[in-house]
Amino acid sequence: DGGITQSPKYLFRKEGQNVTLSCEQNLNHDAMYWYRQDPGQGLRLIYYSQIVNDFQKGDIAEGYSVSREKKESFPLTVTSAQKNPTAFYLCASRQDSGPYSNQPQHFGDGTRLSIL
């Protein structure tokens, strides 16, 4: 089945550590996205990538980094600079992007990150 796989489902981080969240898609989608979901705040965009080897900052990129070396993979690193990393992280992909796209985003099951 085609879809988006996020791993791990739960992740614990010690203070001062960097952690990397995995996102893989086999939908052959060009665009991929990372969101952070906090109670009462909806989904906020961290980073997005419209094409391999290119990505842009979203609304809350500080303390995060990404890479897009392969079309199917868009890992997110939560660095020690992110002061409040405890949240639910969602990865999404879309067939294409841009003003003429009429494709919805597809979402993974998410990773819940907690600080020890």
Partner 1 sequence: AQSVSQHNHHVILSEAASLELGCNYSYGGTVNLFWYVQYPGQHLQLLLKYFSGDPLVKGIKGFEAEFIKSKFSFNLRKPSVQWSDTAEYFCALDNTDKLIFGTGTRLQVFP
Task: Give me the residues that bind partner 1 (CB under 8 A), please.
Answer: 31, 33, 35, 40-45, 48, 50, 58, 90, 92, 97-99, 101-102, 104-110
CB of 95 to partner 1, least distance (A): 13
CB of 68 to partner 1, least distance (A): 14
- Find, among 80, 74, 23, 19, the residue nearest to 50 by Cα: 74
Please report the DSSP string for 56-114 in residue order. Answer: EE-TT-TTEEE--SBTTB--EEE-TT-S---EEEEEEEES--STT--PPPEE---EEEE
Nearer to partner 1, 15 or 54 (CB): 54
Nearer to partner 1, 84 or 102 (CB): 102
For residue 49, give every residue at least 6 positions away whose Cβ sits within 8 Å of its Cβ, in sequence order, or none. 31, 32, 33, 55, 56, 66, 68, 74
CB of 97 to partner 1, least distance (A): 4
What is the bridge-based pairing of β-strands 10-13 and 111-115? parallel
Nearer to partner 1, 35 or 64 (CB): 35
Nearer to partner 1, 16 or 104 (CB): 104
CB of 12 to partner 1, least distance (A): 19
